[in-house]
Amino acid sequence: MKSISVYYGPKSGFEKLIPSSRKTLSELVAEHDAKNKVVTHKFKKDVEEPENEPISFEKEYIENLVAYSEAYAGIQESAVQSFVAILSGYSIENLYLQNPPIQIKQQLEQAFPGIIKERKYRYKNLEKKGFLKIHDTFSDNIIGQERVKERLLIALYPLMSNVTNRKPVVMMFYGNSGIGKTETAKFVSKILGQPLFRKQFSMFHSGEFQGYLFGGTHYQGSFARDLLERESNVILLDEFDKPHPVFHSAFYQLFDEGLFEDKNYRVELYNSIIICTSNYQSEAEIRQNLGDPIYYRFDKFIKFENLSEEALKTIISKKIETHYKSLSKQEKKVVDRGYIQAKLFENVSKLNNVRQISSIIEEYFGIQLVKSFLGGKDTHQSHRV
């Protein structure tokens, strides 16, 4: 084998590395399995050769063999353990691997010392320009959370240093639902020009969460593999408080050093921004429920206050305008934005969060549009506020 390139990062970066002319590991495995199922009987005139006579195959030449992350899930555990032995049945010139399991990397290091070139995706770090943009545009994007802006900037400031392998900035956003926690994470990610990496922890049950965090078989999904394939250095762990505290130990090294490991993968998350969210109302409540070991690993606790009526009115106006812009020209003619805004302003004291506002605005728009479409007939629908 001439060269081995081991790449850690998302598919978008891997695609830029690999040549256009290639055979994938998935294709090779399918052909290998089919070849092993072939039973060949050789005949010399009328004399049948012994059935146990070894059958020899000429090694197939492969100029470029490429293995995407998902390809490893398609091979059996035994194939992972004998990965190099399987490759030895082919004449491979160049091998390209995306996010290989630890077992495969170790085998290659032993079998082909000195020719492995490791490459890593370069994630965007927070620089002075982005930091200033967060300062200048935060209030236009996140309404009613000026205190959050101040605390966020203080937390993010260390990331602008020139330290290469700096531990992540780990923050806990807390407060009621729908008042800007997730939107702030999206906003920061957008400033860095990367899609937010988001995991909703409330979706996991204890049994599946254990395998997901600590690693099961190589073909099972895992947090480590998902982190390897992320395209962003802004990581949102939504509803971090929902899983049982027994799982917090999985995050100790990640929060302390920027490293996450399970039985199959090892991930570096240097200079990243890790945002956890919860609906707790105070730091004392967070400490009591999560416990000291994980509590003291957070760099900053940032509280999101309930929205004032002034903030709610600003959000109402922005949401109505955004929804209106998405309509066709004909639809815009039949929608009365002033009426919708007046009704919501009139009942602003009954509103609590952005999700509720968005839902009610969509309902008002929907009622007006449906009524117009039906020629002004009563839709028998009532407004929620």
pLDDT band at 316 (very low <50, low <70, confident <90, very high): very high
Q: Average pLDDT in the 128-132 region?
A: 94
pLDDT of 355 above 70? yes
- Model pLDDT, residue 115: 92
The DSSP letter of residue 18 is S
- Per the CB < 8 A criterion, the answer to whether 123 and 228 are in contact is no
DSSP sequence for 256-303:
HHSEEE-SS-EEE-TT-EEEEEE--SSHHHHHHHH-HHHHTT-SEEEE
Closest CA to 106 of 136, 140, 128, 83: 83
> What is the CB neighbour count within 10 angstroms for residue 153?
14
- The residue among 69, 83, 81 whose CA lies nearest residue 29 is 83
Task: Find the mean pLDDT for residues 341-345.
Answer: 92
Q: State the pTM of this model.
A: 0.85
Does residue 101 contact residue 69 with C-beta atoms inside 8 Å?
Answer: no
- Tell me which residue of 166, 177, 221 sits closest to 199, measured CA to CA: 221
pLDDT at position 129 is 94
Percent share of the chain, pLDDT over 90: 61
Task: List, as one string, the DSSP characters of 188-199.
Answer: HHHHTTS--EEE
Task: For residues 373 and 366, give the distance between their C-alpha atoms in angstroms, rounded to a whole number.
Answer: 10
Decide which of 375 and 342 is more confident.
342
Q: How many CB atoms lie within 10 A of CB 362?
A: 12
Q: Is 243 within 8 Å of 204 (Cβ atoms)? A: yes
Q: In whole angstroms, how far apart are CA 312 and each of 142, 148, 254, 317, 325?
A: 11, 17, 37, 9, 20
CB 158 within 8 A of CB 169: yes
Buried-state track 34-47, b at ≥16 Cβ within 10 A, e below 16: eeeeeeeeeeeeee
The mean pLDDT of 152-166, rounded to a whole number, is 87
Residue in 188, 8, 225, 210 with CA at minimum distance from that of residue 98:
8
Report CA-CA distances (Å) from 280 to 28, 103, 134, 208: 51, 41, 25, 25
Give the C-alpha separation, 330 to 338, whole Å.
17
Look at residues 230, 218, 156, 162 and name the one whose alpha carbon lies nearest to residue 187: 156
Neighbours of 381 (CB within 10 A): 11
Say yes or no to pLDDT of 384 above 70. Answer: no
CA 129 to chain CA centroid, Å, is: 25
Digit-coded pLDDT (tens) for 66-113: 999 988 877 777 778 888 888 888 899 999 999 999 999 999 999 998
For the beta carbon of residue 155, count every other beta carbon within 10 angstroms.
19
Q: Residue 265: pLDDT above 70?
A: yes
Q: Supply 349's token pair.
A: 């004291």
b/e per residue 245-268 (b: at least 16 CB within 10 A):
eebbebbeebbeebebebebbebb
Segment of 34-43, 209-218, 323-332 carrying the highest mean pLDDT: 323-332
Beta-strand pair 47-48/43-44? antiparallel
pLDDT grade, residue 41 (50/70/90)? very low
Q: Which CATH class is domain 128-303?
A: alpha beta
pLDDT confidence of residue 55: 55
The answer, yes or no, to whether residue 156 has pLDDT greater than 80, is yes
Q: How far apart are CA 40 and CA 21, in angstroms?
A: 32
